[in-house]
Amino acid sequence: MFALAYYLLPYMILSLYSVMNGIDRNLLLAARNLGASPMAAFRHVFLPLTRPGVLAGSYMVFMLGIGMYITPAMLGGPEQTTLPLMIAIQINEAMDWTFAAALSVILLLVTGSMQLMANRFLDFERLWGGAK
């Protein structure tokens, strides 16, 4: 788990950094001038503006992590298996193609549902300059 976090953490950090860097600092100063405490200004101004970066980073890390095969196979033990690793074990070692196919369909459904939810919340059409 630490290796996966170590590998995927830069994707989340870069996503958050790009959003946080684009936030106008004058908004926090305006909240402070209107009587908000530093924590209230952070919670009510800064945190909602970072929501797109958090959602995009979470989506990117999830999609990269769901198909991760090599890192858990090399670093994890037999008690730590991921779904792609379990599919590979079922195909290569157990020769249970039907169970591997069922696991593959589950992986496909989870990935597809995550894609649909991300499309709903991240609004990919607007992000890519499509229909408004």
* The predicted structure's pLDDT at residue 130: 56
Same-domain status, 58 and 73: no
User: Torsions phi, psi of 47, nearest 5?
Assistant: -60, -45
Of 10, 36, 64, the last residue of a domain is: 64
Same-domain status, 74 and 47: no
Sole residue written with tokens 């989506």 = 59
* The predicted structure's pLDDT at residue 125: 66
Rounded Cα distance between 43 and 28, Å, is 10
Number of domains the chain contains: 2
Choose among 115, 114, 127: nearest CA to 19: 127
Of 64, 82, 100, the last residue of a domain is: 64
Of 25, 49, 64, the last residue of a domain is: 64
* The predicted structure's pLDDT at residue 24: 87
CB of 79 within 8 A of CB of 88? no
pTM recorded for the entire structure: 0.68
* The predicted structure's pLDDT at residue 128: 59
Q: Domain range spanning residue 48?
A: 1-64
In this prediction, the residues of the chain whose per-residue pLDDT falls under 50 are none
Same-domain status, 37 and 52: yes
